[in-house]
Amino acid sequence: MSEMGGPPGPVVRPYAMTGGRTRSRYELAIEALVITTQYGEERAIGLSLEQQSIAAMCRQVRSVAEIAAGLRVPLGVARVLVGDMADEGFVRVHQQPDRDEAPDLALLERVLSGLRKL
């Protein structure tokens, strides 16, 4: 337990999870949807613990925001981890082609509802 009475923070610092990188090759929106590929399922055992967690979470479609909340890491860290996994073919990312468009309100409500449940 931490001094504040909550669960302890992550043992590994977020920048260590990403090798010090703060950006991914991808510009992932928080509402971008992620799902584990068959290749990702088959190779999950060889991934880092964080990536194994992402692969397990994304057996069902999850947003980048849900992944960050589930891992209890900053959004930027989740974006880098998911981007790396997408580069390797472990996950597939679906996002709106034109990021200038307003995101679907129903999707944002589902993301918010999911975050509240955590």
Give pTM, 2 decimals.
Answer: 0.67
Assigned domain for 6 exists = no
Assigned domain for 3 exists = no
d(CA 74, CA 79): 9
Edge to edge, the sheet with strand 33-36 lists 62-63, 33-36, 91-94
User: What is the number of structural domains in the chain?
Assistant: 1
**Domain range spanning residue 84?**
15-117
Assigned domain for 28 exists = yes
Q: What is the pLDDT along the chain (118 residues), one digit of tens a residue?
A: 444 455 555 445 555 555 555 566 678 888 899 999 999 999 988 888 899 999 999 999 999 999 999 998 888 889 999 999 999 999 999 987 665 566 667 777 777 777 777 6
From residue 101, give the alpha-carbon distance in Å to each of 66, 67, 96, 97, 104. 21, 23, 8, 9, 9
Assigned domain for 4 exists = no
Assigned domain for 96 exists = yes
Assigned domain for 33 exists = yes
